[in-house]
Structure 1
Amino acid sequence: MPVTVSEEQLCQSVLDFVVDGAYPSSEEIVAAEFPVSALSRQLESIAHAREQLEKEIHALTEQTADDVDGWISQAKQLHADIERSRETAREIVAQHEKTKPLQLAVRDATAKVQLMQTELAFNEAVTGVLEEVQEFTGRLESGHKAVEEERIKDAIEILESVHSTLETAGFSRYGNLTSILRENTSTLRSSIVELLLLHWAAEVRIDRDKKELRISNGDALDQIIESLSRLGMLESVNQSFQRDLLESIIYNVLKPLTSGESRDVIVAESGIVVGEPTPSTVSDVLDRIARILGYLHARLPAPIAQPLSETILPRVSSKIINWWLTAAIPIDLGSLHDFEKTLDRVLGFCRTVENLGWHGHEELVSWVNQLPRLWLTKRRVDSLDQVRKILATSKGETKQVERIETEMVEQKEDVLLDTVDDDWDAAWDNEEEENPSKPDPEPKKPGPNPEPAPASTEAEDEDVSAWGLDDDTHETSEAPSGDDNDDVADAWGWDDDEEEKTQAATPSQPAAPAPSKQEPAPAKQSAPKEITLRESYTVTDVPDAIIALVERQITDAESLSKPEFASSRVSSSGSGLLGLPTLILAMFKATAPSIYPLKLNSGHIYLYNDSMYLAEQIRGIAETHQILDRLTPDIEGLERFGRMSYSKELQTQRTIVIDLLDGSQGFAHCSEQPFLGECENAVSATVDRIRMVHREWQPILSRSVLLQALGSLLSSVINKVIIDIEDLSDISEAESQRLVSFCNKLSELEDIFRPDNNPEAVSMAAVYVRNWLKFQYLINILESSLADIKFLWTEGELHLEFTADEVVDLIEALFAESDHRRRAIAEIRRTRR
């Protein structure tokens, strides 16, 4: 149960808290609620407690009243003491104010005393300085007097003492005075220097206009040099003298004039005089320089001569090399012996310089020791320059040259050999895409019932990989799968049963037809027959000049190995000469492509002929001199370069004719205007372009290469025509007739493949134009009936040129849908070969 707290307890707790600040200790009292009824009672108790407290305070105050009165009395006494102290302080301040004028008077008197002392010290210092300046000025006057009397040694001694005084005396504290004294000292020095230079000019006289040098013979020059050295002017005088000596005397003697002349020099006791121009050799120039150096060594003291040798001799050596020796290096071997004597004279000149005790000629000795390299370098530069001149000065003169080769061919078909009839052009196989294992097809236009004729089973895009143009590093191609011969044999048409060696094929080389390796061998094999292949083509005057230049390097290299050049300094350069043909041919290949087209029409074609002719002639030279192994890479590179030039021009012409033919727009609607006119113009322009190329190249290329090039161009044109016609999905009768007329127009180009354009001669178009037979079959298809086409496929040789799908596509484009067409197509598909 909760405990009940009485009102008395609550009131007493509140009273204790008010009076003593005591907090109730009982939790019940703290938690109890103070009743309102107890307020009056509580207030009364608090008032009573207040009265009791006041009474206690009053009692305590009465007890301490005496002590408080004492404290008040002491405070009043302290206040009186303070007032007296203040009065005393005021009196002291007044007394101090009265002493200030006296202090100012004392301070002023002290300042005046110090000023007087400073003035006295300054006057004494000025007097000392003026005395020193007077003594210094006197010495300067003595120096000027010594200069006037030309007592240079005394003047220099005075100048040195004056300089010493300036460094040690106290003048440096007076800036303006020091500047004036230094200026006066500089004036004295300038007077001495002027006098010295006059004496130097009197002893060593160089007349630039007259080109003379005169040096006095006596002790005066030694004294002048000593004086210049003491003044620190010897180096500058030396430099000036060296410069004047080089420009006025030595360079005038060394500098070559026109026509191998240089100035003579007269060296006597009186001096050196440069003479008039006279024909001179290297030995003459060296002799003149040696005499000049001897005179200088005899007349000039060591302090002048030694720096002079160290300065001018390297320059003299450099000028001798650049102006005389380098130009005198002979190009031909015939002048080497005379030049060797010149080199001996150079070494003699170096020994003369050594005997004088001078230095700086080491460059000459080094140059002589490097002669083999320098001579080879000059030969190299001259050879490359000769190539440039040959090409630049060529007048474009041409001549006919002949290639003759003998080859062994298998006599599998005597008729085929008879067809060659000593005209090896007829045996050329143009395209490497043609399978060499099959004989070349007979050129004949297929009719309704054509005779069987072998043909290529593939029609690949034309390229020039057989020429080695597809690989800049190797000239041979990989052998086709299933064929024993390589791509070179493909291009040449030669079959070699004894070896698998790959040969580089060029467009200008002949080829005999190769027998098929896929056909069964005949029962009786004829012995190989030797045939001579001969044809002519046109070259410019450039190859002969290049050949002569190359042959000169080879013959000179051989000459250096002979006993007569055993003691020559350049005998070791023989092997280096054999490297020059490589550079010559490289220079030719680098510059020719930019020069030939500028000087000649069909420049790239001439460049091809020249390159192949040049390679052939250099191969013969290399075989003769037994260095073929060394020059084989260069010869092969030259052949590649020529073929590349040929290929570049052929590709250009191929692009032109294809662009012209593009004007037909694929022969679509070729029977209607304006498409008919565009097709006629495109075909005519293409034919005209090929004939123009034929006229332009005919006098340049050999006939085999000419027919190969034209066959390549025509093959590209025909291939595009075949593709365009096969791409036509619908060909009307009128369009078919127009297409036949366009194809016949192109077929008229067959006459360029007949010897001498003889209409009765056998055309070689089928040999040189890869897709010629296919083109002729296409013409037959365009103008034939379904029966004829089916007969050509089943009984003829149409399947050799066309696939079944190609024939079917053409039939569907040419003929309307019918049972007859369906049966013909089914028959063709059933007899697919």
Structure 2
Amino acid sequence: MAFPIPSHLPRRPNPQDVSSEILMKIDEATNQTLTASLATSWLAELEATIQATERHVYDRIHLDLPQFEQQLESSKSVQTRLQSLASNVDGLNQTLSQPETGLIPTLLRSLTAHATLTQESADATVRHETLSHLLRCRKEFGSILSLVEKGQLPQAIQSCAVFDQLLQDAPAHLQQTNVMLDLKRKFQAARSRAEEQLSEAYTRSVVMSPKSLTILPSVAVRQSETILSLPEILASLSETSLSSHLTTLRRDLMNYYVDHVLQQPTSLTISSEIPENRLTLFPSPPNSENLNTRLDNVAATLKFLSTHFMASLPPSESLTFSRSLCKPIVTSVLSNLLVPSLPSSFDLLSQFIALGKHAVAFEDEYVIRLLGDEKSDRPIKAWVDGMGGTYERQRRVKILDASRVIILSPEVTGDRFVVEVDIRQDNQPEVVPVQVEDDTDASWGLNGSSNSSEAVDDGWGFDDDADPESAPAPASSSLPATEPDPPAEEVAEDGWGFDDEDEADPSPEPEPEEPPEPEANGHDEPDDDAWGWNDDAPADSAQDTAWDAWDEPPTKSSPAVNKASISPASTSSPKMATRLEKLANKGKKHLNGSSPLASPSLVAPRQPAPAPVPSSPPPTTSSPPKKGPPTLSPVVVPKESYLVSGRIRQIINLVEDVLAEGQKFAASKIFLPIETGLPAGTVLLQSAASILDLYRSLYPVKFKDRLKTAVGPMQFSNDCLFLSGEIARIQAATAAKKLAPVEDRLVECRTRLKIMSESWYEDTVEHYRQTSNDIISQGAQGFTSTADQDRYDECETAVSRVVQEIKRLAQQWKGILNKSKYYTAIGMVTEAALSRVLEDILALPDIPEVESHRLSELCRMLHALEALFVEDTHQGSFVVAYVPSWLKFSYLSELMEASMVDISYLFDSGALVDFETDELVRLVRALFADTPLRTNTINKLTAGRQ
């Protein structure tokens, strides 16, 4: 059965001829369809097709019969020639390939015989050449062995060169043969033995040790009677071996006979006795050594080596070896003799100059001429010519190293000293005339007549343009006329009058028609003693008396008079308001803006206490003012002291020594100007300024942890300030001397040190100002909701912490800073805390009664800081001079518990001049309910400032 064709395969095309069609039909027939009739039909069809084809052929032939006959004849002719050609080819093949007589077999036999003969001839030729070359190698190798055994090493080395050439010229087919490889191994062994014996002979001819150098002119070869001269040995050594020996010789020569001789005192002896030449070194005592001897010893060594060794070298190697010694010798002379011997004292320079000249002569004689270094740039001469600059640079390095040791030495707390400074202004004279008033002088205006405002104005000198008629009625009418003046000690203890619990009210009730007394301001009577100071008094007299209390309390005879000696009756004068206003404005001038550190010199006045008043009793109201010129008395400018680190004194001493040495060096004229064209001594003089630059750059980095404390920055500020002043003193002391090369640098260093001192001082104060501000801001959180006990405790903790921090700072800074800076710094930190409290409390929109009492208590906690500004209890505090907001803050604590009548009274009397109008209005609205009285009071406050 036929294999079924898959449907996806292409089908066979229909047959084009009869045979194919019949075959297709036969293929399609099956057992059922195949019959005799079907087969007969196939045969008939096939017969018919054959007959049709025959007829077609016949018709085709007869269509062009002549042409057919012609082609038939041609075919027959081709067939005949093909048969003839085939028979001829068969005959030729028989002739060529006949095994016995054929041409090709005969030719192959002849060629084979010729090739065999040629190969035999070539083999014979190669064998002859190989044997001949091996024979020559054998003879030459035998000669080498004989020479080596006899000790004739130079001849053996020459024979080795010949034999080596034979090995190179050996036929190619002989190179890798066993006999040739074996011959090479034996030759290498023989040559190595010869070179080894030569090296051994060299080591016995040139013997170098740290103590002696021995050179033998000739030496016997081991195990032979042959004697070789040193030139023969050096000439016979291989290039590699000779280079190695010369390198070793140069190294040992530099170590033992150049470097060592230039570094240590040494004696040298030379002996030339048969059969050796010896150079010997002996250590010498250094006490009386002349450094020129060291150069002479090196020169003798070079001369000995040139005579007995370098003359034996081959000419090419001799020049190379001698020149290879030039640079190491010159470098050794510079690094081991001249540079280390460069004196550190100007007095020794003359001897060193002689040594430098000797070194230049040594370079000319031995380096240039003997060793043949004609192309050298003569570094020793160049160094000696620039010796002055080298001396200055080396001294500069040593000076800076010494200063670095001083600067980086550990901090020693006890190694400090006290420095005194004048506290006068820069344009103030040493002796200041102070105006001293008589007892009858009415210019103090403390107990002036109530009906004479002119006398009061003339005495105080406040608000000359103010209208006397606009002043309020004297407040003294509210006080009993029988009130005696309190003693000075009693008033001094409560000069400010802010402590309610310490005050008593001995005065009777006021008359009904008089203004009522304040009810809740913490005062039973107005007291101007706390701020009734006289600005017109000389500032220096106050400084002279107040600052002396830093070291010891003033005596009773001190010219400073306590402000409490002013009669309290005078505090009711209407001029108190004007006085307070001028004092507050004065403080605002010194502290303008939120950052008082912008101008430290204007932060607060230098005097820690108010200007003193005379010690005489105040004039009575019946005393007319005395007219006439004042009496002048000289007052010595007071001094203050601060601590400076002991290292600063060492730095200053070092700077002075360097300047003195530089001046002496510049004046000597023993050296030419240095290469840069600067005058002699310039580098040395500028080293003094470099010491200060090194201090400024190293100290903050080395002691960065110490500068993060409260004490470290202030001590560093003091040190920089003292350095700046000492540089100015040095410049003034050396004004007549030549310091031009370093004058500008010293001025620059002095300026930078002063700036650094001020910067560290200001940055430290600003840091603790911000710390105080942050403690209150984060702890109190605006003083809101203080009626709640927990919130009140948080506020109390923050205020207490600020007080403790400021007291701790005061304790740490007081022993370091001078008084002016100390009080200014503490005042700034205190001012920051008070300003934060003032701002937060005045910003409260509503203050109930309970909160007002608690806020007053919190404010009074900060009153404890007033004790930091008290030097003598008999003189009281001078806190207002350094804390501009103190008066305003003091009144704030009273206003928290004051009535509207009290506020109106204080406003009318001018006690609230430090408050802005909107602040007072906002405070009244926060403290009191919305009533007609509050509205009238606010209108009064608003109208009163217009």
TM-score by length of 2: 0.67
Counterpart in the other structure of 1:220: 229
Corresponding position of 2:783: 667
Contact kept, 8 Å, 2:267 with 2:284, in 1: the verdict is: yes
Pair 1:566 & 2:669 matched: yes
- The alpha-carbon distance between structure 1 residues 707 and 136, as it changes in their structure 2 partners (threshold 3 A), is same
Shift of 1:61: 11
Q: In the superposition, relative to structure 1, how do residues 181 and 370 fare at CA in structure 2: closer, same or farther (>3 Å)? A: farther
**Letter aligned with residue 293 of structure 1:** L
| Aligned-residue offset at 1:378 | 1.8
Is 1:275 aligned to 2:291, yes or no?
Answer: no
Cα distance in 1 for partners of 2:751, 2:604 equals: 17
Paired position in structure 1 for 2:419? 401
| Partner of residue 465, structure 1 | 598
Q: CA deviation at 1:558?
A: 1.8
Deviation at 1:526, TM superposition (A): 11
CA distance in 2, matches of 1:732, 1:313: 99
- C-alpha distance after superposition, 1:764-796 (max 9, x if no partner): 211111222221232232222223223333441
Structure 1 residues 111 and 72: CA distance shift in structure 2, 3 A: closer
Alpha-carbon spacing, 1:266–1:812, altered in 2? closer, same or farther (3 Å): farther
Q: Any idea what SS the aligned residue of 1:751 has?
A: helix
- 1:284 deviates by 4.1
CA deviations on 1:634-673 (whole Å, 9 max, x unpaired) are 1010011111222232233223323332312221122322
User: Which of the residues 297, 305, 308 maps onto 1:296?
Assistant: 305
| CA deviation map 1:598-656 (0-9, x unaligned) | 67971211111111111111101111112555522210100111112222322332233
Distance 1:418 1:347, change over 3 A: same
Q: Which residue does the alignment assign to 1:138?
A: 139
Which residue in 2 is equivalent to 1:417?
Answer: 537
| Cα distance, 1:89–1:358 mapped onto 2, change above 3 Å | closer
1:323 and 2:438 are equivalent in the alignment: no
For the residue of structure 2 that corresponds to 1:271, the secondary structure is strand
Percent identical residues: 22
The answer to whether residue 897 in structure 2 is matched with residue 786 in structure 1 is: no
In structure 2, list runs of 5 or more residues that go unmatched: 1-58, 219-227, 436-460, 462-533, 549-562, 612-627
Does the 8 Å CA contact 2:207/2:214 hold for their aligned counterparts? yes
Would the aligned equivalents of 1:314 and 1:363 in 2 still touch at CA under 8 Å?
no
- The alpha-carbon distance between structure 1 residues 720 and 186, as it changes in their structure 2 partners (threshold 3 A), is same
> Residues 204-262 of structure 1, C-alpha deviation per residue, up to 9 Å, x if partnerless?
1224xx64320124692223333337x675434322322333345444434x5xxxx55
Cα distance, 1:173 vs structure 2: 6.5
Tell me how far 1:276 sits from its aligned partner.
Answer: 4.3
User: Which digits, 9 at most, give the CA deviation of each residue in 1:23-74, with x for residues without a partner?
Assistant: xxxxxxxxxxxxxxxxxxxxxxxxxxxxxxxxxxxxx999988746853762
SS in 1 for 2:593: coil
Letter in 2 for 1:350: E
Counterpart of 2:724 (choices 615, 619, 623) is: 615
**Residue 142 of structure 1: CA displacement?**
1.3
* Distance apart, 1:824 and its partner CA: 1.4
Q: CA deviation at 1:700?
A: 1.0
Could you tell me which residue of structure 2 aligns to residue 203 of structure 1? 205
Q: In the TM superposition, what is the alpha-carbon distance from 1:166 to its structure 2 partner? A: 4.2
Q: 1:419 and 1:618, CA in 2 relative to 1: closer, same or farther beyond 3 A?
A: closer
Counterpart Cα distance in 1 of 2:132 and 2:418:
110
Q: 1:244 matched to which residue of 2?
A: 252
Which secondary structure does the structure 2 equivalent of 1:585 belong to?
helix
Give the counterpart of 1:759 among 862, 868, 873: 873
Deviations 1:347-400 (A, max 9, x none): 343244245344379333232223222222222222222222113335331121
User: Cα–Cα, structure 1 residues 808 and 178, in superposed 2: closer, same or farther, change >3 Å?
Assistant: farther
Alpha-carbon spacing, 1:817–1:178, altered in 2? closer, same or farther (3 Å) = farther
- Residue number among 328, 339, 346 corresponding to 2:359 in the alignment: 346
**Structure 1 residue identity aligned to 2:724:** A
Matched position secondary structure for 1:464: helix
What is the correspondence of 1:677-716 to structure 2 with a 5 Å cutoff? 677-716=793-832
Write the letter of the residue equivalent to 1:464.
L
The residue that corresponds to 1:801 in the other structure is: 914
The C-alpha deviation readout for 1:162-187, integer Å capped at 9, x for no partner, is: 34444555457744466555545544
Q: Distance between the aligned counterparts of 2:634 and 2:730, measured in 1?
A: 29
Structure (1/2) with the larger helix percentage? 1
Count of aligned pairs: 705
Bigger mean CA deviation after superposition, 73-82 or 687-696: 73-82
1:134 maps to a residue whose letter is L
Contact 2:610 2:878 in 1 (8 A): no
Cα 1:620/1:423, change in 2 over 3 Å = same
Instruction: Please say if residues 213 and 249 of structure 1, whose CA atoms lie closer than 8 Å, have aligned partners that are also in contact.
Output: no
* 1:776 correspondence with 2:890: yes
Alpha-carbon spacing, 1:377–1:794, altered in 2? closer, same or farther (3 Å):
same
Q: Does the 8 Å CA contact 1:697/1:706 hold for their aligned counterparts?
A: yes
- What is the DSSP-based 3-state SS (H/G/I as helix, E as strand, rest coil) of the residue aligned with 1:421? helix
In the alignment, the residues of structure 1 paired with residue 921 and residue 67 of structure 2 have an alpha-carbon distance, to the nearest angstrom, of 151
Deviation at 1:551, TM superposition (A): 0.8
Native 8 Å contact 1:159 1:189 kept in 2: yes
Tell me what 1:636 maps to: 751
Amino acid at match of 1:381: V
Shift of 1:275: 3.4
- For residue 553 of structure 1, give the secondary structure of its aligned residue in structure 2: helix
Output one character per residue of 1:107-151: Cα deviation in whole Å (capped at 9) or x when no partner. 255224312321222122211221122012202211222232233
RMSD: 3.9
In 1, Cα distance between equivalents of 2:609 and 2:403: 34
The residue aligned with 2:658 is: 553
Which residue is 1:816 aligned to? Answer: 929
Give the stretch that moved more between structures: 770-779 or 672-681. 770-779
Mapping for residues 737-752 of structure 1, pairs under 5 Å: 737-752=853-868
Confirm or deny: 8 A CA contact 1:403 1:536 kept in the other structure: yes
Structure 2 CA distance for partners of 1:80 and 1:297, relative to 1, 3 Å = closer
- Asked whether the 8 Å contact 1:718–1:772 carries over to 2, the reply is yes
Q: Which residue of 2 aligns with 1:30?
A: none
CA offset at residue 550 of structure 1?
0.9
Query: What residue in structure 2 maps to residue 624 of structure 1?
Result: 733
Code of the aligned partner of 1:291: A
Distance 1:291 1:66, change over 3 A: closer
Residues of 2 paired with 1:267 and 1:647: CA distance?
A: 75
Is residue 325 of structure 2 the alignment partner of residue 312 of structure 1?
A: yes
Matched, 1:723 2:834: no
Cα contact 2:869–2:879 (8 A) shared by 1:
yes
Name whichever of 450-459 and 536-545 sits farther off. Answer: 450-459
Q: 1:155 to 1:107 in 2, by over 3 A?
A: same
For 1:371-410, list aligned pairs within 5 A. 371-393=387-409, 395-396=412-413, 397-404=415-422, 407-408=428-429
Distance 1:663 1:509, change over 3 A: same
Are residues 175 and 62 of structure 1, via their aligned partners in 2, closer, same or farther at CA, if it must alter by over 3 Å?
closer
Local SS of the residue matching 2:420: strand
Q: Check whether the contact 1:317–1:364 (CA below 8 A) recurs between aligned residues.
A: yes
**Conservation of the 8 A alpha-carbon contact between 2:540 and 2:638:** no
Q: CA deviation at 1:740?
A: 1.3
Alpha carbons 1:550, 1:581 under 8 Å: kept: yes
The question of whether the paired residues in 2 share the 8 Å contact of 1:426 and 1:704 is answered with no
2:804 corresponds to which letter in structure 1?
Answer: D
CA contact (8 A) 2:869 2:878 kept: yes
Which residue number corresponds to residue 192 of structure 1?
194
| In structure 2, C-alpha distance between the alignment counterparts of 1:253 and 1:782, rounded to whole Å | 93
Q: Is the 8 A contact 1:737 1:782 kept in 2?
A: yes
- Among 366, 370, 384, the alignment partner of 1:356 is 370
Distance 1:556 1:374, change over 3 A: same
SS in 1 for 2:595: coil
- 226 and 147 in structure 1: CA distance in 2 versus 1, 3 angstrom threshold: same
Paired position in structure 2 for 1:591 = 698
Residue number in structure 2 paired with 1:334? 347
